[in-house]
Amino acid sequence: MRILVVGKGGREHALVRALAESPGNPELFCFPGSDAIFELAKPVAADGLESLIEWMMAHAIDLCVAGEESYLVKGEGLANLCVRHGIPCWGPPKESAQLEASKEFAKEFLVRNGIPTARATATESLAAAVAAIGGKYPTVLKFDGLAAGKGVAVCPDETSAMVFLDEVFTRQRFGPGRVLVEDCLTGPEVSIFAAIVDDRYLIFTPARDYKRALDGDHGPNTGGMGAVASRQLVSKELLERIEEEIVVPTVAGLNREGLPYRGFLYFGLMLTPDGPQVIEYNCRFGDPECQAVMPLVNGDLAGFCLAGANGELRGDLISFDDGWSVCVILASAGYPENSRSGDVIRGLENTGDFRVYHAGTRKNADGIWETNGGRVLAVVSGAAALPEAVAKAHAAADLISFPGLQRRHDIGILHFD
Ligand code: AMP
Ligand code: GLY
């Protein structure tokens, strides 16, 4: 089987590794990929979506796996183009990927389908947003488009709201677009991942990510500084409630509204005092949750994704470990405001009962790994019990260093102690 994975980050490194470990020795390719991914998958000579499709046709690719979201909504859409050319694709078409690309589309879908979510108003000017806030704080402001995880602001007061609205409407930091003004919910967050194949689904191991830069959930929001994954993260009763009130009506809504879906769907939930509510959908696996979840997946992920892309949900091909997995992110100097590249990474030669996925690294001219982006590495380890998984993951993270390294020391501890 010849599989092409689209993306270049830590999530894609974890996906490529899980696919490489599938039985049957699939031949792997990755676009755009990274130096670390190219140790497991071959690079692809393409410079955009159209040439990528041509390349897949010319190289008899059996399955395209969409790791990251951007290509799903670019041009005609990665999955749409794959379908048109007869290439099975694990990832949804452009019209369905609006669930992630447009916060307004997602909110209307949630409301139409009676799925619990925060009340929100769409606004198209600074004045309209201020009116919708109506002096009620805290409030949540969401830019209605892809903004690389930076388009949401939880604002405790008017000053912070005005800073965000000024960035979006006056300075157009994310380009033109509307802003959703949303009620602020409270409660712990959990990420639920379902593999969806038309009208069927399979729920993967739940996870929780740590979005703030600093220990104690302080500092600015980031793409994610770590994650914990386990079946035990949510009780059986709670998972049943999430399934009944959120997953089932989402899948039914997609089918009723003619939105085809074959791929991972990420439900970002908040467990409020009134029950679980959806704060966002993403049309892909989470990053860094994927790095925490993949080591818990056993069996034939490649066969599972291929069958799914062809319309068959083959839950019998994979199973999930019951234990805990902890992922610690090592980020570069300056992250998340900016990031410094070119710092030499030491300690990668260490091996043990842990995995290291590369997110932002490159091999320099001397063949030495150096930093190349904000989030640099994900160090992951697991155990039957959470405290042991935490100790192992942090001890493994201690083995790696580079100038300016930033990491959290409370991943797997905060929220669980
Ligand atoms: P999103 O990109 O929609 O996941 O939002 C990023 C983060 O903002 C979420 O993980 C939450 O921590 C927070 N957030 C989003 N929506 C709400 C809400 N309605 N109430 C409180 N916090 C929210
Ligand atoms: N971990 C959050 C995300 O993947 O969007």
User: Do the beta carbons of residue 320 and residue 231 sit within 8 Å?
Assistant: yes
**Atom 5 (ligand 2) nearest CA:** 286
pLDDT band at 141 (very low <50, low <70, confident <90, very high): very high
Of 122-136, 142-156, 171-185, 241-255, least confident by mean pLDDT is 142-156
SS3 content of the chain, % helix, strand, coil (to 5): 30, 30, 40
**Does any ligand 1 atom lie closer than 6 A to the CB of residue 152?**
yes
The residues lining ligand 2, judged by C-beta closer than 6 Å to any ligand atom, are 149, 209, 224, 282, 286-287, 289
pLDDT score recorded for residue 56: 98
User: Does 106 have pLDDT greater than 90?
Assistant: yes
HEC letters along 268-320: EEEEECCEEEEEEEECCCCCCHHHHHHHHEEECHHHHHHHHHCCCCCHHHEEE
For residue 8, the CA-to-ligand 2 centroid distance in Å is 15
Mean pLDDT of the chain: 96
Strand partners, 65: 5, 90
pLDDT band at 145 (very low <50, low <70, confident <90, very high): confident
For residue 248, the CA-to-ligand 1 centroid distance in Å is 22
- Tell which residue, 354, 327, 371, 348, has the closest CA to residue 225: 327
Report strand pairing: 27-32 vs 2-7: parallel
Over residues 299-306, mean pLDDT: 98
Pocket test of ligand 2: the residue of 146, 289, 294 to mutate, having most ligand atoms within 8 Å of its CB, is: 289
Pocket test of ligand 2: the residue of 70, 72, 282, 291 to mutate, having most ligand atoms within 8 Å of its CB, is: 282
User: Does 10 have pLDDT greater than 90?
Assistant: yes
For residue 279, the CA-to-ligand 1 centroid distance in Å is 6
**Does any ligand 1 atom lie closer than 6 A to the CB of residue 182?**
yes
* Nearest ligand by distance to the CA of 156: 1
Backbone angles phi, psi at 6, to 5 degrees: -105, 125
pLDDT tens string 152-189 = 999 999 999 999 999 999 999 999 999 999 999 999 99
* Nearest ligand by distance to the CA of 189: 1
Q: Which two tokens stand for residue 206?
A: 């739940």
Over residues 386-390, mean pLDDT: 98
Burial code (b: 16+ CB inside 10 Å, e: under 16) for 290-302 equals bbbbbbbbebbbb
Burial code (b: 16+ CB inside 10 Å, e: under 16) for 23-45 equals eeebebbbbbbbbbbeebbbebe
**Does any ligand 1 atom lie closer than 6 A to the CB of residue 400?**
no
Backbone angles phi, psi at 78, to 5 degrees: -55, -50
User: Does 221 have pLDDT greater than 90?
Assistant: no
Backbone angles phi, psi at 20, to 5 degrees: -65, -30
pLDDT tens string 337-357 = 999 999 999 999 999 999 999
User: Do the beta carbons of residue 369 and residue 345 sit within 8 Å?
Assistant: yes
Over residues 55-62, mean pLDDT: 98
pLDDT score recorded for residue 243: 98
For residue 99, the CA-to-ligand 1 centroid distance in Å is 15
* Nearest ligand by distance to the CA of 266: 2
Over residues 91-103, mean pLDDT: 96
For residue 383, the CA-to-ligand 1 centroid distance in Å is 30
* Nearest ligand by distance to the CA of 223: 2
Phi-psi domain of 324 (left: phi exceeds 0; alpha: psi -120 through 50; beta: other): beta
Of 172-186, 193-207, 243-257, 299-313, least confident by mean pLDDT is 172-186
pLDDT band at 23 (very low <50, low <70, confident <90, very high): very high
Whole-number percent of the chain with pLDDT over 70: 100
pLDDT tens string 250-289 = 999 999 999 999 999 999 999 999 999 999 999 999 999 9
Tell me if residue 227 falls in helix, strand or coil: strand
pLDDT band at 327 (very low <50, low <70, confident <90, very high): very high
pLDDT band at 151 (very low <50, low <70, confident <90, very high): confident
pLDDT tens string 59-77 = 999 999 999 999 999 999 9
pLDDT score recorded for residue 163: 96
Tell me which DSSP letter residue 343 carries: P
